Structure 1
Amino acid sequence: MEFSKVYFLGIGGIGMSALARYFLHEGKRVAGYDRTESRLTRELTDEGAEIHYEEGVRFIPEPFRDPAATVVVYTPAVPADHPELVWFREQGFEVEKRSQMLGYLSAGKYVMAVAGTHGKTTTSTLVAWLNHETTEGGSAFLGGISKNFGSNLVLGAGDRLAVEADEFDRSFLRLEPDVAVVTSVDPDHLDIYGTYEAVKEAFAQFVRRIRRGGCLVLKQGAEIALDGGGIDVYRYSYDEPCDFYAANVSLLDGGFYRYDLVMPDRVIADCTLGIPGWVNVENAVAAAAAMWCAARARGERLDEERLRGALASFAGVKRRFEFYLNTPKQVYMDDYAHHPRELTATLTSVRKMFPGRRITALFQPHLYTRTRDLHAEFAEALSLADEAVLLPIYPAREEPVEGVTSELIAAGVRVPCRIVPREALAETVAAMPTDVVVSFGAGNIDACCEALAERLKRKAE
Structure 2
Amino acid sequence: MEYENVYMLGIGGIGMSALARFFLHEGKRVAGYDRTPSPLTAALEAEGAAIHYTDDVTCIPAGFRDRERTLAVYTPAVHDDHSELTWLREQGFRVIKRSQMLGILAEGKYVMAVAGTHGKTTTTTLVAWLNSRMADGSAFLGGISRNFGSNLVLGGGRRLAVEADEFDRSFLRLHPDVAVVTSADADHLDIYGTHAAVREAFAQFVRQIRPGGDLVIRQGVDIALDNPAIGVWRYAYDEPCDFYARNIRLTANGHYRFDLVVPDGVIADCTLGVPGWVNIENAVAAVATLWCAARREARPLDGERLREAMASFEGVKRRFEFYVNTPRQVYMDDYAHHPRELAAALSSLRGMFPGRRITAIFQPHLYTRTRDLYREFASSLSLADEVVLVPIYPAREEPIEGVTSELIGGLLTVPWRLADREELAGVVAAMETDVVVSFGAGNIDACCGALAEALRRKA
Q: Does 1:317 align with 2:316?
A: yes
- 2:71 partner SS: strand
Letter in 1 for 2:363: Q
Aligned positions of 1:420-439 closer than 5 A: 420-439=419-438
State the TM-score, normalizing by the size of structure 1: 0.99
Equivalent residue for 1:199? 198
Equivalent residue for 1:130? 130
- 1:129 partner SS: helix
Q: Does 1:411 align with 2:416?
A: no
Equivalent residue for 1:18? 18
Equivalent residue for 1:378? 377
Letter in 1 for 2:50: E
Compute the displacement of 1:254 (Å).
3.0
Letter in 1 for 2:108: G
- 1:255 partner SS: coil
Partners of 1:317 and 1:221 in 2: how far apart? 26
- 2:253 partner SS: helix
Compute the displacement of 1:301 (Å).
2.9
Partners of 2:169 and 2:149 in 1: how far apart? 28
Equivalent residue for 2:258? 259
CA RMSD in angstroms comes to: 0.6
Partners of 1:291 and 1:308 in 2: how far apart? 13
Equivalent residue for 1:456? 455
Percent identity, aligned pairs only, is 75
> Alpha-carbon deviations, 1:118-155, whole Å to 9, x = none?
000000000000000011x2100000000000000000
Aligned positions of 1:35-434 closer than 5 A: 35-135=35-135, 137-434=136-433
Greater mean alpha carbon deviation, residues 246-255 or residues 311-320 = 246-255
Partners of 1:224 and 1:414 in 2: how far apart? 32
Partners of 1:299 and 1:268 in 2: how far apart? 18
Compute the displacement of 1:325 (Å).
1.0
Letter in 2 for 1:16: M
Greater mean alpha carbon deviation, residues 149-158 or residues 298-307 = 298-307
Partners of 1:335 and 1:436 in 2: how far apart? 13
Partners of 1:303 and 1:178 in 2: how far apart? 21
Equivalent residue for 1:27? 27
> Alpha-carbon deviations, 1:157-216, whole Å to 9, x = none?
110000000000000000010010000010000000000000000000000000000000
Partners of 1:64 and 1:154 in 2: how far apart? 27
Partners of 1:274 and 1:199 in 2: how far apart? 33
Partners of 1:300 and 1:113 in 2: how far apart? 21
Letter in 2 for 1:395: P
Greater mean alpha carbon deviation, residues 295-304 or residues 18-27 = 295-304
- Structure 1: runs of 5 or more not aligned: none
Partners of 1:265 and 1:312 in 2: how far apart? 22
Compute the displacement of 1:298 (Å).
1.5
Partners of 1:366 and 1:318 in 2: how far apart? 18
Partners of 1:90 and 1:255 in 2: how far apart? 56
> Alpha-carbon deviations, 1:101-123, whole Å to 9, x = none?
00000000000000000000000
Compute the displacement of 1:252 (Å).
1.0
Compute the displacement of 1:303 (Å).
1.1
